[in-house]
Amino acid sequence: MIAVRPARAEEAAALSELCFRSKASWGYDAAFMQRSRAALTVKPTAIAAGRVIVAAEGEALLGVVAVEVDGDTADLDLLFVEPAAFGRQVGRKLLDAAAALARQRGARRMTILADPGARPFYEKAGARFIRMAPSDAIPGRELPLLELAL
């Protein structure tokens, strides 16, 4: 059974590696992945602030999501699923948990700067495309910016 729970501080490195494996599954080359590494790092400070949620099955980490709330807007910092767990609704469970956390912290909408390959996932979950926006990891790259009403 998949459990959704707050991340633990000692899981930061393992979660960062999970993010890296998940991003690499889109077929990006090694140079791109190295430039993306900082953006794929799960920060212990975010875990300590209660902004990081994991999906786990026993001790196996299946996915991670992080959200930051500023006023009535939340930003989906990251959402990654272990490639071996694709197709098991892990991403949807994590997105729902992130939305619940954001609502609990006062947000009414969540912005999502999505990987182009993940855009259909977010749109299926109810997010709507706003515009293309600069990547927070790769200078000169544009990504779809979406918004999910909470």
Of 103, 113, 108, 105, which Cα lies nearest the Cα of 146? 113
> Which of helix, strand or coil describes residue 146?
strand
Q: Is the pLDDT of residue 137 over 90?
A: no
Check residue 7 and report its DSSP letter. Answer: -
Which whole number is the average pLDDT over 57-73? Answer: 97
Domain count, the chain: 1
- For residue 36, give the nearest of 24, 27, 48, 50 by alpha carbon: 24
How does pLDDT run across 68-125, given as a tens digit for each residue?
A: 999 999 999 999 999 999 999 999 999 999 999 999 999 999 999 999 999 999 999 9
User: Is residue 138 scored above 90 in pLDDT?
Assistant: no
Which domain covers residue 24, as residue numbers? 3-149
**63: nearest Cα among 118, 102, 115, 21:** 21
**What is the rounded distance in angstroms from the CA atom of residue 28 to the CA atom of residue 51?**
27
Task: Kindly report the CATH number assigned to the domain that includes residue 123.
Answer: 3.40.630.30
Percent of the chain predicted with pLDDT > 70: 100
Question: What is the C-alpha R_g of the chain?
Answer: 14
Average pLDDT of the residues of the chain:
96
**Cα 96 to Cα 110: distance, rounded to the nearest angstrom:** 11
What is the structure's pLDDT at 150? 97
pLDDT-based confidence at residue 48 (cuts at 50, 70, 90): very high
Token pair for residue 149?
A: 């009403």
